[in-house]
Chain A
Amino acid sequence: MRRKIVLFIIITICFLLQCTVFQSLSFAGIAPNLLIIVVSAFGLMRGKKEGLLVGFFCGLLVDIFFGFYLGVYALLYMYVGYINGLLQKRFFPDDIKLPMIMIGVSDIACNLLVYFFMFLFRGRFHFLYYLKSVIFPEFVYTMVITIFLYFILLKVNQWLEKHEKRRAKKFDV
């Protein structure tokens, strides 16, 4: 229960920051993607199931407030969470390399898919332009934010896990 509430708060804060504060802090019209950091990080730290659930709810939020059709981003983020969850066994909390790489890869993959389905199909063929002016800047900005946000998420998760372990022990005795 505690985990659910904390997750809800994290998702809410990141979503609100992303669509209000970071939109005004954007460089050259590019804002970072906080939600992908949350989805990817929880996939890595907690595995497939939590990854896909966090992804689903993050995507649903984006769909409700900004999407064309309900379910596009929910589907996309859910798979991002799931695929990141597959790598949980290789995840060690002290090592920031894997999360950095995976968050970066997730961000680029998401944007490529969005470009492919929503831009290429409508005849916007200047892929290099979009790569240069949207995908790459967003990747860089997201990476910078990851350095801060990832450690916050990691600490929150460790705090949650500590409490969960304590509770489990109580039941055992």
Chain B
Amino acid sequence: MYDIIIIGAGVVGGLIARELSAYDLNICIVEKEHDVAMGASGANSGIVHAGYDAKPGTLKAKLNVLGSSLMPKVARELGVKYQNNGSMVIGFSEDDRIVLEGLLKRGLQNGVKDLRIVEQDELRELEPALSKDVLCALLAPTGSIICPYELTIAAIGNAMDNGAHLELDFPVEKIKKTEEGYEVISGEKSLQAKYVINAAGVYGDDIAAMAGDDSFSIHPRRGEYILLDRECGNLISHTIFRTPGKMGKGILITPTVDGNLLVGPTAVDIEDKDNTETTQEGLHYIMSQARENVPDIPFGKTITSFCGLRSVGNTGDFIIKASDTGWINVSAIESPGLSASPAIALYAIDLLKEQGLNLVKKESYDPIREPQHKFHEASMEEKNEMIKKNPAYGKIVCRCETVSEGEILDAIRRNPKARDLDGVKRRTRAQMGRCQGGFCSAQIIELLAREWNIPYDKVTKSGGDSYINIGRTKEV
């Protein structure tokens, strides 16, 4: 019997688990996939929004501004890369300027600091690569970037280091109300808890319905992205948005914390909650839109394209509330969900308290997680000290991103343990460079097979039936 089960190992579930792991509680995170951060948390823009977007008075506005202000500390404690690069919303016409002035006003109401409109000359100096047609921009110096899956992995890793359990490959199929709380069932497996937090992302409404709450609905909004080589990360320094129109916020262009250039997302409402296909139309749309803002984006240096699904609720705001005794929905966390996530975690814990959860601080709680990129960013002297203790750090496996065997073994051995090729990629960046694993994947498969003690051909790309090889030659 757990005190709390959190359904969904995304950034929201992860940060809630981490906050709760500071208390004397028995916590379990359940996740339907083979790894954490497999939904929207693994595929979004990675922007910590300044907070001028959301309508004042909404949960989105309140939690965005608070979450953004908490993010630097969270990132520091969890050893996650975070960069305050500033963002700007660019306008091409006097009509756009009116919209930007409206955003400025809204931002001031929401409590966003240092917002201002910048004009031509200053704009060119800040971002020389912008189109000549850009007239003015709303500059938000507090806008920042973070790696969303790194944050999720670190939050869950830290929660686990502080005693939380993680159940992967656990798609929740049934919820039963019990005398003491809830029974959460997946196939033959069943777990019980006094409290449940529903952080199931795009499936949040389905999970709530299993517990008898059909008060809200979620639909997926597809967002396709194109990721470019690290060579291109310097093209711009700010995150560049377009003036929002009827079609939403449009295509943004941003450097990532790892130095790549990220362009996207599209915004298309769909039915299928599992459909993360990219489309020719989507990719073409991204390229043509982005070129209007920054003409010289070298799309020939594309490393990969991907697609994530945002959870869009039917209320227009985040849906964070208790629906029954001991059951909290944390749902419809679309943009600015990542920015708000540290504040969402605190808000959800307040709701748990209202539900009668008794919180006793745990003395052993350690909020600090050693950064995954510690070796990568160490000085040459520090690196040599680490190699002396563990020679595997001296052996480079991924040549494009210079990732050592030691770092890959860390990713496989520490919480939450990488179990497949994509898991190693998200944790270490091995296979994420310009050869996309062409050289190193065969070697990483070997490390995964050895560490997990499974045959070479049972190693997967991302769990399930995603086998890399189908068997030994001459035998299949």
Chains A and B belong together in one complex: no
Interface residues of A (CB under 8 A from B): none
Interface residues of B (CB under 8 A from A): none
